Amino acid sequence: MKLSFRNLRFPVEQARGRRYPEPPHPYRNEFQRDRDRIVHARAFRRLENKTQVFPPGVSDHFRNRLTHTIEVAQIARTVAMVLDLDEDLTEALALSHDIGHPPFAHAGEKELDQEMARFGDRFDHNLHALRIVEQFERRYARFPGLNLTFEVREGMAKHSRDFEPGEFPELDEYLPGLRPPLEAQIIDPADEIAYNTADLDDAYSANLISLDEVCHAVPAYGELLETIQTQYCGASIQVQFRESIRSLIDWLVSGLIEGTVQAVKASGVSSLDDIRRCPRRLVRLTEERERATVALKKYLLRNVYQSEVVRAERERTAGMIPRLFRYYMEDPTRLPVAYAEQLEEVPAHRLVCDYLAGMTDGYLIRIHEQLFGGQGS
């Protein structure tokens, strides 16, 4: 199956370029180079030691943020390929979509944001991701950061939300008020499909959920499972379950492709400019699959994200970020030299925030243990 949205594809030769001009590569185009730069970045490797949902130690085969990212890239690339969009741009955006996440997932983001609010500032993982690729990665002699193309930076800024002029002054160069290209619009729904199905999978392995309950809460999943059970009645329940996850991913990805085709047709867009000016995003699930997704999310929230095992870990690490934040604010020269030497130009709370946000979960816990003996407050 290949549907041609070729006229809506972002043409790589029209990329606006990099902050620091560079000669072209002999055989990789600009988006391919960006994708490769992300894969080789330190912030990308750190994803391995950042929690997705389940803390490390519960199991050796649950997702972490790195394996989650690879699953998002697989889904996003498939959608881009079928719609004839630019797969390299899509993949670069999928691979970078979570690099701005601080330790301890959303709980950590909230804590950092609260600490920053005391200084009239804020923490936002999308803005942090841009700062990583613009400043913090130091791998090139001629410029700071990864020197990515405008389109990849714009897509990073907009992968999960649109914004109006002035809403985020730091983002004013990234065409506020306009939708991003379809390649960037794929990332958020691909992320959703990846984590909803993966969390269901991991939660089943962790014995947190019963299949009867899932089938009741999400009837569409119940139908998929029933088909699998009829087709493979001799297989073990575990294998039947895994087949049902495969089938659920496929059902949702097909729904994303179909929903996007419908939305593009209904909107009448015929150029990249139309997509940018369209009042809403066009990459979306069909209504039926959106309903199933909403039901699944609701089920996961109650039975997984608010479960005892996930809550216990959150409680164990709660308070570590605020405690470290205040420790470094008390005397910012305690920061590592690379941060402390910027104290004259950059406000201390910003440096402390950058330092903590860049840590992996494991590193933050170790530092906390060294300083305070490992007790959360």
Residues at the contact surface with Mg ion, assessed by CB under 5 A? 98, 191
Say which residues have a Cβ less than 8 Å from residue 181's Cβ, sequence separation at least 6. 10, 89, 151, 155, 272, 275, 276
Nearer to Mg ion, 52 or 147 (CB): 52
Query: Smallest distance, Å, CB 65 to Mg ion?
Result: 7
Nearer to Mg ion, 112 or 275 (CB): 112
Query: Dmax over Cα atoms in the chain, in whole Å?
Result: 69
Query: Smallest distance, Å, CB 66 to Mg ion?
Result: 11
Q: Cα separation of 202 and 346, whole Å?
A: 42
Nearer to Mg ion, 191 or 361 (CB): 191
Q: Cα separation of 208 and 228, whole Å?
A: 22
Which tokens in the block code for residue 350? 């910003």
Nearer to Mg ion, 86 or 98 (CB): 98
Q: Cα separation of 169 and 268, whole Å?
A: 32
Query: Smallest distance, Å, CB 365 to Mg ion?
Result: 22
Query: Smallest distance, Å, CB 101 to Mg ion?
Result: 8
Are 163 and 49 in contact by the 8 Å Cβ rule? The answer is no
Nearer to Mg ion, 98 or 201 (CB): 98
Nearer to Mg ion, 48 or 223 (CB): 48
Q: Cα separation of 80 and 86, whole Å?
A: 6
DSSP state of 344: T
Q: Helix, strand, coil proportions of the chain in percent (round to 5)? A: 65, 0, 35
The residue number with the shortest CB distance to Mg ion is 191
Nearer to Mg ion, 98 or 183 (CB): 98
Query: Smallest distance, Å, CB 289 to Mg ion?
Result: 19
Query: Smallest distance, Å, CB 72 to Mg ion?
Result: 6
Nearer to Mg ion, 51 or 147 (CB): 51
Query: In degrees rounded to 5, what are phi and psi of residue 289?
Result: -80, -25
Are 342 and 351 in contact by the 8 Å Cβ rule? The answer is yes
Task: Give the other-Cβ count within 10 Å of 206's Cβ.
Answer: 17
Identify the residue whose tokens are 């394996």.
67
Query: Smallest distance, Å, CB 376 to Mg ion?
Result: 25
Mapped onto helix, strand or coil, the DSSP state of residue 95 is helix
Q: Cα separation of 377 and 316, whole Å?
A: 9
Nearer to Mg ion, 98 or 115 (CB): 98
Query: Smallest distance, Å, CB 22 to Mg ion?
Result: 29
Identify the residue whose tokens are 């923490």.
123
Query: Smallest distance, Å, CB 37 to Mg ion?
Result: 20
Q: Cα separation of 339 and 352, whole Å?
A: 8
Query: In degrees rounded to 5, what are phi and psi of residue 64?
Result: -115, -175
- Torsion (CA) 245, 59, 303, 375 in degrees, nearest 10: -150
Q: Cα separation of 54 and 258, whole Å?
A: 32
Query: Smallest distance, Å, CB 56 to Mg ion?
Result: 17
Nearer to Mg ion, 130 or 224 (CB): 130
Q: Cα separation of 103 and 317, whole Å?
A: 10
